[in-house]
Amino acid sequence: MSDLKETRSLVDKAHRDEVKAYNQMVSDEEKAKEQQAQLETCVTYRDECLDGLKTAKSSGLSVVQVRECQLLMQYLDSVVETRQYKADISSENYEKLKAVWTKKSEHYEQLKETLEKQEIEERERRENTMVGGDISEQSETYYSHGGKK
C-alpha cells in the first residue's frame, strides 16, 4: 500500500512539473511569435525604405537627402540584424522548453500507467482476500487430529 501512496505522490509531482513546463513553453512560444512579428515588420519597413532610396536618386533629391536615406538604411539594417538575433534566441528557447515539456509529459504518462497497474493489482489483491482469503492459506491441508500435513 505504501508503494501505491508513493506512486500517487510521484504522479502528482510529475503532473505539476508537466503543467509548469507546458506553461513556460507556451509563454516562450508567444515571445518567439512576437519577436518574429517584430522582425517581419522591420524587414518590411527596411524594404520599403530601400525601394524609396532607389527611386530617390531619380526623383530629384539632393545629395544630403540621399545621404540621410542611406544612413537610415544602415540604421534599419542594424535593427533588422538585432531583431533577427532576438527572434533566433526566442525560437531556440521555445524549442528547448518544448523538449523539456515533451520529456516531462512522457514521464508523467509513464507514472500514470504505473499507478493504474498498481491500483489494479491492489484492487485484485483486496478482491481475492475478500472472496476466499489468501491463496496460500487455502492450499494447506488439515487432518482430523489437528496437525498439518
The helix (run of H) or strand (run of E) holding residue 8 is helix 2-56
Would you place residue 144 in the very low, low, confident or very high pLDDT band (cuts 50, 70, 90)? Answer: low
Q: Is the pLDDT of residue 147 over 60?
A: no
At the topology level of CATH, where does 2-128 sit?
Helix Hairpins (1.10.287)
The pLDDT assigned to 105 comes to: 95
Q: How far apart are CA 123 and CA 119, in angstroms?
A: 6
The pLDDT assigned to 79 comes to: 94
The pLDDT assigned to 143 comes to: 52
The pLDDT assigned to 69 comes to: 84
Collapsing DSSP to helix, strand or coil, 21 comes out as: helix
Model pLDDT for residues 3-51, shown as the tens digit of each residue: 888 999 999 999 999 999 999 999 999 999 999 999 999 999 999 888 8
Collapsing DSSP to helix, strand or coil, 142 comes out as: strand
Q: Which DSSP symbol is given to 20? A: H
Q: Which residues neighbour 75 within 8 Å (Cβ) at sequence distance 6 or greater?
A: none
Range of lowest pLDDT (67-81, 84-98, 129-143): 129-143
- Closest Cα partner for 46 from 25, 65, 69? 69
Grid cell of 137 as nine digits? 492459506
Model pLDDT for residues 129-141, shown as the tens digit of each residue: 887 655 555 455 5
How large is the C-alpha radius of gyration of the chain?
Answer: 34
100 backbone dihedrals φ, ψ, rounded to 5° = -65, -45
Model pLDDT for residues 55-68, shown as the tens digit of each residue: 876 777 788 888 88
The pLDDT assigned to 27 comes to: 95
DSSP letters of 61-130? --HHHHHHHHHHHHHHHHHHHHHHHHHHHHHHHHHHHHHHHHHHHHHHHHHHHHHHHHHHHHHHHHHHHH
More confident residue, 138 or 123: 123
The pLDDT assigned to 61 comes to: 78
